[in-house]
Structure 1
C-alpha cells in the first residue's frame, strides 16, 4: 500500500533571522515564522489533505510550527531533531565549513553526516510502518535536505536551492522506500 509523508521544515526562528547555527539548540518562531506556518496550514486545507498522524522534532520551533498547522494530537520524536552541530551551536553561520560537512562536527561534539542521515531515515521508516496512510512530520532544514539526499536514488525531482522555512516535501512510501514526488516552497 502506498502511503504519503509530508516532511516539513519549521517556520523562521530568531536564530534563523540572526544567522546563528541552530541544530539541537533552539529559539522561538518569529512573527514571519508564525505567518509561514499559517500559510502551510492553508495549503493543506486548500488541497483537502487530512493527516492520519502527525509527528514533530522535540525542538520547540518544530512543535510550535506543527501546532499552528494542525490542531490534531501529535508525537514528538528525537529522531526528527536537527543535525547536532556540537560547540558550533548558537554561533554565527559564518563559521560553518564549506559543504558537504561530512564528519566535520564530530570533533566538536556533534554528529557525523552519515549517522545523521541514518537517524532521519530510520525514524521516518518507523513512522510510516505504523497504521496510517498520510503523515505530517515537522523537522528542520538540514534534516529535510539530508533525508532527501538519502533517498535521491529513488526520486526524479530534486531541490537545488535552500529548503526554505515551512517548505513541504511530499514523499510516497511503498515497499520500505521513499520517493520524493513534490516540493512546495511558499512565496512569502
Structure 2
C-alpha cells in the first residue's frame, strides 16, 4: 500500500449530547460513543495494511485517548506505543468552552454578528484563530510525511482543517467538510476517501 493517513474522530461524548462545545475541555464518551469507536476500529482493521509499518498518533485530550484505547484493543496494537501530539488537539474556543450556542449568543451576541454556521467558532474573544490551527496541522502533516501509514485520532474541527490543508481547499470549502463520528477518512495520493459501513457507501 502507498503511504496513507487515516483520520478518525473520537466517539460521541456527554457534552456532544448536550450541545456543548468542548474545545480543549473534556467529557467522557457515552455508551453510543464507545460503540461508534468500535465500529470505526473494525473498519480500520480492514483498511490498514497490517504487513506494513504503521503508527497510531492521538490528540492528548481525554476523549481522544479513550477512543484510541478502544481502537488499540480491536486492532491489537499496544496502547503503550501510541504517540500523543498536541497538534491534533481540538480547536480551542477559549471562554466558550463547555457552553451551548444559546449560552454563547446570550453573552457574546456581538461576536457572532456576520458569522456563518461554519466559522463562528473562530470568533471567540480568546480562542484559536483558523490560521493558527491551519499552521499546526500543516506542521503535523509535514512531520509524518515519511511514515508509511498513520492512524490519527483527533477531533471534529481539527479533522476538517487537516483534511482541507491536505486537499488544498479554501477556508470556505474546508469548513463545509463533513464531520462524522461514524466514518473515517483515508488520505493518500492527494485524495480523500471516506471509509464507512453506511449503506450509501455501497
Q: Same fold (TM over 0.5)?
A: yes
State how far apart, in whole Å, the 1-side matches of 2:47 and 2:160 are: 24
| Structure 2 unaligned spans of 5+ | 106-111
Change (3 A) 1:41 1:91: same
Deviations 1:82-122 (A, max 9, x none): 000010000003437423248512xx211011111111121
State how far apart, in whole Å, the 2-side matches of 1:49 and 1:43 are: 12
Pairs aligned (count):
177
Point out the structure with the larger helix share.
Answer: 2
Q: Secondary structure at the match of 1:165?
A: coil
Deviation at 1:159, TM superposition (A): 9.5
State how far apart, in whole Å, the 2-side matches of 1:141 and 1:102 are: 12
Change (3 A) 1:77 1:91: same
Select 2:54's aligned residue among 52, 55, 62: 52
Q: TM-score with structure 1 length normalisation?
A: 0.82
Q: Note if 1:183 corresponds to 2:194.
A: yes
State how far apart, in whole Å, the 1-side matches of 2:38 and 2:192 are: 23
The equivalent residue for 1:68 is: 70
**Contact 1:164-1:185 within 8 A present in 2 as well:** no
Larger Rg: 2
The equivalent residue for 1:117 is: 134
Q: TM-score with structure 2 length normalisation?
A: 0.77
The equivalent residue for 2:180 is: 164
State the superposition RMSD in angstroms. Answer: 2.7
**Contact 1:54-1:75 within 8 A present in 2 as well:** yes
**Contact 1:102-1:114 within 8 A present in 2 as well:** no
Change (3 A) 1:89 1:48: closer
Deviation at 1:170, TM superposition (A): 0.7
State how far apart, in whole Å, the 1-side matches of 2:142 and 2:56 are: 14
The equivalent residue for 2:109 is: none
Deviation at 1:78, TM superposition (A): 0.7
Select 1:141's aligned residue among 156, 161, 167: 156
